[in-house]
Chains A and B, each alone.
Chain A
Amino acid sequence: MRTPRSRLLFAAGLATVLALSGCAAPSTSDNTGTNASVNVGLILEPTDLNIRKTSGVALDQVLLDNVYEGLVRREADGSVVDALAKSHEISADGLTYTFTLNDGVTFHSGAELTANDVVWSLNQVVTDASIKDHATLASIRTVSSPDPKTVVIDLSSPDSNLLWNLGGRAGQILEEKATNDMATSANGTGPFELKAGAWKQGDSLKLERNDNYYGTKAKVREVVFSYIPDPTAAINATLTGDLDVQTGVDASLSPQLERDKDITLTKGRTTDKYTLVFNPKVPALADPKVREALRLGIDHKAIIDSIGGAGVPQGGPIPALDPGYQDLTGLVPFDPEKAKALLAEAGQSDLTLTLTVANHYPTVISNVLTSQFKNIGVTLKVNRVEFPTWLNDVYTNHDFDLSLVNHAESRDFANWTDPTYYFGYNNPKVQELYKESVAATDPKVADAKLAEAAKIVAQDNPADWLFTGTALTAVRKGVTGFPTDSTTSRLYLGNLAVSE
């Protein structure tokens, strides 16, 4: 009796599996034009949505430019264009910025944007030191609005970074009377809105087109960001059609995508600086000869090859997308013999150093470094830690020999001018040049001063810049307008469209 019944059960189970397998995937035939829904794969999810409090580019990626807007907006190529402002004027002395606001701008709550909202938003950042990026608006003396369509910013000293910073977190404009919980919802003016329940924490986040947008409306109905931290799972999601766009494609897995003729891989520039910092508080690393030797011992080409070629050499602290860049890769070329000689001169014949590295970077990078250092007689021990542990040990307590993380933020050269930063780098000449660059009213002068400062930093060898990351993005046929550059920190989707 039992055997036939269990066979029956087995057959029923099998039938269920087959039936489920047979279910057709939801049809995507009407998923084009203004009705399109685009699935975008991202890697890192923001911890919460509060742009005033929580750091991290994962938050900038989805909300800035799409949901929140500033008076101006950063473009992927590093330039700054008007956004909430229709136009702006800068006085000859560089101390007064006058912005004229666009007409008919409303928040997603339905309230109309007023100049008062702008004044209130900027003042909030200027006056409250606990707000993210407060320091970037330090040059602002007053923000005022002579009439409902005009906002005037007065500076205490010229600031060549001001427009750029207004295009960042600090410059985002919020509604003064809004009562929403900023940690889990967002009320901005942008071309997309985040409706209630659109963020499914630990899974995905959905942006819907703002049909009341004052400017050119978004070209797609909605964008769904899926957070897929596992690189293989992400590739699978692209191959099976779950994703229309996959950002941050793992270069070593990308050949799998190249076989699919419906998928295009784009390569974009980023400001992802993989920075190997030498802690100057460690006696051996306080010796300039040792630091130079370590840099001479690094073969950057081999490191870039090891990660599937997804990077370009970066000889100094400033990457190619940022102002003040110049090619410094020739300063300290790969020369293991010279490295050994320098180490001998420094009396370091048997040097052992520990590398503290956050564990979400490819293991292969630290493996290659270990073997390259072994070639010059330096033993590298690798301590892979969770990112919060890195923040605690390296960033806060400065307790490390060598540290490796990706500094993804653009235009963050100021870290080299702050001796209390975990870099521990202190060169008054560099600090002076940076100040002059910020105060310059002529952009050319600002860039030249910055370039000069960056070269001095590179010559002091406080760190090695292993490479600048290349952003690999997989885009399905028919999808256009997805940004290629700087996708790790910004994703403006106002031009995203689906054809056919």
Chain B
Amino acid sequence: MTRFLLTRALLLVLGLAVASVLIFLALRLLPGDVAQVIAGTDATPERLAAIRDSLGLERPLPVQYGEWIGGLLRGDLGNSVVTGTPVAGEIWEKAQVTLPLALLSMLIGLAIAGPLGVAAALRRGRPAGFALSGGAQALAAVPVIWAGMLLVIVFSLWLGWLPAQGFPRAGWSDPGAALRSLLLPALTIGIVEGAAMLRFVRSATLGVMGQDFVRTAAAAGRTRTGALLSHGLPSVALSIVSVLGIQVAGLLVGTVLVENLFTLPGIGRMLVADVGNRDLTKVQSEILVLTAIVLIIGTLVDVVHRLLDPRQREVAR
């Protein structure tokens, strides 16, 4: 087990190192730079040069990369080129919108996918089963933007129950207001993600239903549903954990879209604005943090899998 954990950790570090190089280089391929954005449409070449010089944009790329990585190793994500404020602080501020949003979306997704996925499997071949999997297929194909606009029309404009956009300026100091403003965006992601996950849950359940231990339990006098629920669900949960690991990246992309649609001051909207400003030192740290989150969750899923699944534990010894 120790060896397994060490290998995983090493792979994680290696992955991050490769990602940092790719992110750094890919961003340098973007046309236009922050000096042009600052100087705008009345800039003279002299003024552009002066701004570039003051921002240190003319230094060689390896030097810039070295500075960034050096800072990262000291736990410093760097400062925004435009405002000079520390990137870490800004990410932390915006994460207070994005992380609750992602978590809420995932919970909503699970609340939809779990029960309905199992139900779809149990009613396979019957009209209810068809309706469930067909409905999920259709919902999963709905663009997130579209789902969001429909929800806004119904819950904000018609019913007036929830805010259509924005996040309270006071943040979480009024938890009710903050949560209300996240509800529609989370539903938007959660419904679409949940529909996608429902299909995984359904096929995982179907797989488990054919397993010996469920059949044995059924033979011992349990109903098929009872046998599945008491003995098969841990196994289904395992597959859901794996799928969740994969879905995290999709979830983050979903939050970028939804934050722009609902004008939420989260990491996604900040990222779009910073790319637009060509604030590259900020963008590269932001993307690396997001990459790290995805990689770390992937590693955790691996480890959890190892711990939950007795069969894999055997192999590890």
Contacts and interface: CB of A to CB of B under 8 A. Distances in A.
A289 to B, nearest CB: 29
B50 A130 contact: yes
A129 B50 contact: yes
Q: How large is the interface on A (under 10, 10 to 19, 20 to 34, 35 or more residues)?
A: 35 or more
A17 interface: yes
Interface string B89-112: 010001000000000000000010
A48 B164 contact: no
Interface in A32-88: 45, 47-48, 53-56
Interface stretch (B37-45, B60-68, B134-142, B300-308): B37-45
A201 B51 CA distance: 22
A54 B183 CA distance: 37
A237 B165 contact: yes
B166 to A, nearest CB: 6
A236 B33 CA distance: 34
Given A230-B261, A396-B48, A407 B41 contact: yes
A47 B276 CA distance: 10
Nearest to A198: B169
Chain A contact residues: helix, strand, loop or mixed: mixed
Interface string B21-55: 00000000011110011111111101110110010
B31 A389 contact: yes
A387 interface: yes
Interface string A107-133: 000000000000000000000011001
Contacts of B229: 2-3
A395 interface: yes
A123 to B, nearest CB: 18
Interface stretch (A91-99, A152-160, A221-229): A221-229
B163 A226 contact: no
B152 A203 contact: no
Given A202-B265, A232-B149, A242-B165, A20 B50 contact: no
Given A201-B90, A226-B166, A240-B163, A388 B276 contact: yes
A55 B167 contact: no
Contacts, number: 162
B56 interface: no
Contacts of A385: 31
Given A21-B161, A129-B50, A230 B263 contact: yes
Contacts of A10: 111, 115
Given A20-B180, A240-B156, A229 B260 contact: yes
A255 to B, nearest CB: 14
A53 B149 CA distance: 39
Given A206-B169, A230-B263, A388-B276, A17 B164 contact: no
B38 A395 contact: no
A184 B161 CA distance: 36
B199 interface: no
Interface stretch (B7-15, B78-86, B239-247): B78-86
B263 A13 contact: no
Contact of A228 (B39, B46, B149, B165): B165
Contact of B36 (A3, A134, A226, A395): A395
14 contacts: A2-B229, A13-B111, A20-B176, A55-B43, A129-B47, A135-B44, A204-B265, A230-B260, A233-B263, A389-B32, A391-B36, A392-B36, A405-B41, A415-B42
Interface of B: 30-33, 36-44, 46-48, 50-51, 54, 82-85, 90, 94, 111, 115, 149, 152, 155-157, 159-167, 169, 176-177, 179-180, 183, 229, 260-263, 265, 269-270, 273, 275-279
Shortest beta-carbon contacts, A-B, top 7: A55-B40, A388-B32, A203-B265, A392-B32, A236-B164, A21-B161, A130-B50
